[in-house]
Structure formats: structure tokens, C-alpha cells
Structure 1
Amino acid sequence: MHIPDGFIPFWQCAIYYIILIVALYFASKWARNNLDEKRIPLLAVLAAGIFAIMSMNMPIPFGTSGHMVGGALVAIIFCAPEAAVLVFTVVLLIQALIFGDGGITALGANVLNMAIIGGFVGLYTFKGLKGKIGIYASAGIGAWLATVIAALACAIEMAIAGTFPLNVGIASMVTYHIFIGIIEAVLTVIVIMALEKFRPDLLAWNKNKIAEGGE
């Protein structure tokens, strides 16, 4: 799902960079108000894990690459897409600069797809379903849907850029990520189950519950 340099015209990259700058502004405000000494290490561990899973990618015919993402996982754990924006800006920048995975000019588009779109879709799917089907099922569905919608957004962006037609992008990007999303859903549920069992205080919805006087 990494878009490399040259796949999107510079003027379109500039638009995505403006979106990134605005997102980073809100993410920095969120970090100042919400990150403490317990949650900063968790954010760092998630960043390292996401770096690892995104490094295991495969080429997609007529597309960019296929891999797990993790934007939904970060957003769900912190109940904030802003957390995903912070993590993915750092991870994608390092991957582009050091490993040549993705591009500097396409950084804004990549953060938009994986962190902003993926984070929002994953979190609000989770919030909408949590009371109906439970934490784990809603987290899994949110992670799967976030992966698929992020891949669709990537295909649309490259169709707008004229890189390849939308039907080709959907056939290659979305189809692959439908299956990749299943693995992402399982991984997301495993991580949340582990935190719920061993460190429930690090999960934002538990923190909110404690603050409201719940159990």
C-alpha cells in the first residue's frame, strides 16, 4: 500500500501534504493532552510492531504493495486517530528515507490512507459495533474494514493521478487487501486481548471508564 515517488504528480502530493500538516497539528494537540509516562512506551512499541509488519510486503500487479497496516489497532487502543497519525508519520518517514519503501513526495498520501482513513474507519467501526457484538469482534471487523478502505483510497488516488485506471486499481489493490485484512483483523484482536488481560489500564476505553467511576 506504500505509494512510491513518481506515482502521483507533485501538485497532488502538495495537497496530501497540506492534509498531513493539518492532521499533525491536531495530533500534536492530542499528544500534549493525552500521552503520559505509561502510554508513551506503548505508542513506541506499537510503532516498532507496525514498522515490522509493514516491512513484510508483497508486490501487487498494477498496484504498489500489499501488507498489513495497523492504523486501526493504534486508533482503537488510544481511542484516537491522532495516535495513528503520529505513529505512521514517523514509521513511513523512516521507511522512505532509509529503506526506500514508499516515497518522500508521497508521504502525505501514505499517511492519509493508512493513518487518517484507516484510523478513522477502524475506530468508528469499533465504536459503532462494540456495544452490539463486543470488543473483540468489533475490533476485528474495524481492522479488516480499515485495511480494505485504505487500499481503496490508494487505488482512487492513483487513478486520479493517472497512474492506472480505477478498475485495475480496485482489482489489484482491494482484492489483495480483502485477504490481507483477515490477517490484520486476527492480529488486532490478539493484541487487544493481550492488553485487556495483562494491562487493561492502557486501553483508552478502560481509562475513560475508570475516570467516570466505573469498574
Structure 2
Amino acid sequence: MHIPDGFIPLWQCAIYYVILIIALYFASKWARNNLNEKRIPLLAVLAAGIFAIMSMNMPIPFGTSGHMVGGTLVALVFMAPEATVLVFTVVLLVQALFFGDGGITTLGANVLNMGIIGGAVGLFTFKGLRKFIGKYPAIGVGAWLATFIAAEACAVEMALAGTFPLNIGLASMGLYHAFIGVIEAILTIIVIAALEKYRPDLLAWNDKSTSKNVEVN
């Protein structure tokens, strides 16, 4: 899902950077109000885990890649899509600078797909479905959909850039990430369930030290 340098014209990259700057502004405001000495290390641990799972790439035709994302996990732990913006900006920047995964010019687009879209889709899908299908099924659906939609957004961006046709991009990215999303859904459920059992205080809906608690049934 990482878009390398050169796959998107610079004027389009600039648009995605503007979106990233706006998202980082709101994410920084959230961080000042919600991150404390306990939750900052948690954010760092999650960032390390995201870095690890995104490093396991599956080549996809026309030059991009498929991999698990983890945006839903971060968003659910903090109950805030702003957390995913911070995590993915740092992780994707490090990957681009030191590991040649993704690009600097395309950083805005990559954070948009995996951090902003991935985190928001996963969190709000969970919020919308949990009362109808239950907590853990809602987590699974949210994680799967976040991975799938983020991949399709990547395909749309590269089609707009003229990198490859939209129909081929949607099919290629969608097919691979529909399968990857199943794995991500299972792992997200396992991690959240483990945290609820062994460290419920690390989940935002149980942490009384955050400025806003979220009720989760």
C-alpha cells in the first residue's frame, strides 16, 4: 500500500501534504489533551508494532505493495483517529527515510490512506456496528473494512496520477487486501481481547486519566 516517490505528480503530492498538515494540527491538539506519562509509551509501542507488521510486504502488480496496516487497532486503543495520524506519520517517515518503503514526496498520500482513512473507517465502523452485532464482530468488520478501503483509496490516487488504470488498480489492490484484511481483523480482535483481559487500563474506554472516556458495551 506504500506509494513510492515518482508515482504521483508533485502538484498532487502537495494536496495530500496540505491534508496531512491539517490532520497533524488536530492530532497535536488531541495529544496535548489526552496523552500522559502512561499513554505516550503505549503510543510508542503501538508504533513499533505497526512498523513491524507493515514491513511484511506482499508485491502487487504495477509497483505498490500489500500488507497489514494496524490503523484500527491504534484508533480503538485510544478511541481517537488522531492517534493513528501521529503513529503513521512517524512510522511512514522512518520507513521512507531509512528503509526505502514508500516515499517522502508521497508521505501525505500514504498517511492519508493508512492513518487518516484507515483509522477513521475502523473506529467509526466499530462505533456504528457494536450495538447491533456485538463488540468483537464490530472490531473485526472495522479492521477488515479499514484495510480494504485504505487500499482502494490508494488505487484511486494512483489512477488520478495516471500511474495505472482505475479498474486494474481497484481489482488488484482490492483482491489482495480483502484477504489481508481478514488476517488483520483476527489479529486486531486478539490484541484488543488480550488488553481487555490483562491490561484493561490501557484501553481508552477504561482509562479514567484521559479527558474523555468512551462507553463500550
TM-score (ref. length: structure 2): 0.95
**Alpha-carbon separation, structure 2, partners of 1:133 and 1:61:** 36
Please say if residues 68 and 181 of structure 1, whose CA atoms lie closer than 8 Å, have aligned partners that are also in contact: yes
Matched, 1:165 2:165: yes
Which residue number corresponds to residue 207 of structure 1? Answer: 207
Partner letter of residue 137 of structure 2? A
**Alpha-carbon separation, structure 2, partners of 1:214 and 1:167:** 39
1:74-106 CA distance string (max 9 Å, x none): 011111110000000000000000000000000
Which residue number corresponds to residue 9 of structure 2? Answer: 9
Unmatched runs of 5 consecutive residues or more in structure 1: none
**Alpha-carbon separation, structure 1, partners of 2:213 and 2:7:** 47
Q: CA deviation at 1:132?
A: 2.0
Greater helix content: 1
Which residue number corresponds to residue 132 of structure 2? Answer: 132
Q: CA deviation at 1:133?
A: 2.0
Unmatched runs of 5 consecutive residues or more in structure 2: none
Change (3 A) 1:81 1:214: closer
Please say if residues 84 and 116 of structure 2, whose CA atoms lie closer than 8 Å, have aligned partners that are also in contact: yes
TM-score (ref. length: structure 1): 0.96
Matched, 1:120 2:145: no
Identical positions, percent: 79
Q: CA deviation at 1:130?
A: 1.4
**Alpha-carbon separation, structure 1, partners of 2:202 and 2:135:** 15
Partner letter of residue 189 of structure 2? V
Which residue number corresponds to residue 150 of structure 2? Answer: 150
Cα root mean square deviation, aligned: 1.9
Partner letter of residue 16 of structure 2? Y
Aligned length: 215
Partner letter of residue 204 of structure 2? A
Please say if residues 205 and 214 of structure 2, whose CA atoms lie closer than 8 Å, have aligned partners that are also in contact: no
Please say if residues 62 and 168 of structure 1, whose CA atoms lie closer than 8 Å, have aligned partners that are also in contact: no
